[in-house]
Structure 1
Amino acid sequence: ERMLGLFINTLPVRVRLRPEEPLIGLLTRLQDEQAQLIPHHHYGLSDIQRNTGFGTLFDTTTVLTNYPLDPSVLDRVLGDLDVLDIDNEDATHYPLRMAVVPDGDSLGLRLGYLPDLYTRDEAQRLLDRVLHLLETLAEDPERPVGDIDILTEEERHQLLVEWGGY
């Protein structure tokens, strides 16, 4: 009650992909598995790193912002104090970070990256793949995970023709 700020515990998540499993089944299973782990969420990242012996457990973070701000609440809570502008900026030391944030009646995606590891074009291609996966989920939630193609035509040509000789 006397401290201001966001206190979160970043934890690694292992996702096992089963090629025959439908997309919606994967998401349901992942949600169930994560719900079973809630009693262990107090375990800190530094403790996990120390106990596993690994210095780096992951290099990508995904954050779902589930606390949408209703600006009208500020008037009631802050009284005479005026808030003129509200904005936030995500910053981490991880090479890739994706945040899902409420934006009115929809959700927005923010992809952050370290520019010394990824170019803007590489980051855009990764974001395009995420959007493709989300579109696939919306169009065909029963599609098996192993049937999802995330390569662009150019990448497929390079892989099969230029590098593979097909």
Structure 2
Amino acid sequence: QPERSLSHSPLFQVMLALQNNDEGSLTLPDLNLSIVEAREGESAKYDLTLNVVESEDSLGLGWGYNTALFERDTIARMAEHFEVLLSALVQAPEQDVFSHELATAQEREQLLGRWNNTEAEVPLEYCLHELFAEQADRCSKKTALVCDGMILSYGEL
């Protein structure tokens, strides 16, 4: 017997709902149904929900999420990435969906330009083993190698 938890849906935790009913409301005998907008702060039924409402010339997106799992900034980034992907798909629909970027131009600059800027001045008159020995002398007590529970410092190397 599988272990059951009432904290999440047993079948899925992420839902994409496309609302593309032109009518907007449905009338049945003795019953009238209509679309009700989700309210801010309403408790999430699933870990993550993307509700897409199609209108005549646009798509409206609404994100719902479990605040115990996601922060508002994380969902905002997901929404931005989804917007970047949708824009790319509209501009080049013939391309494979996996070939498109998700990151914004600003994020790419941060990841590749600022965070990955590893340029360093290296003295050309020294060989690699000499540079390593110099670094080992400066940090002789710091851990240099860990293997199978054995720890060696730079000085021991």
TM-score by length of 2: 0.49
Q: Which has the higher strand share?
A: 2
TM-score by length of 1: 0.47
Higher relative contact order (CA 8 A, sep 6+): 1
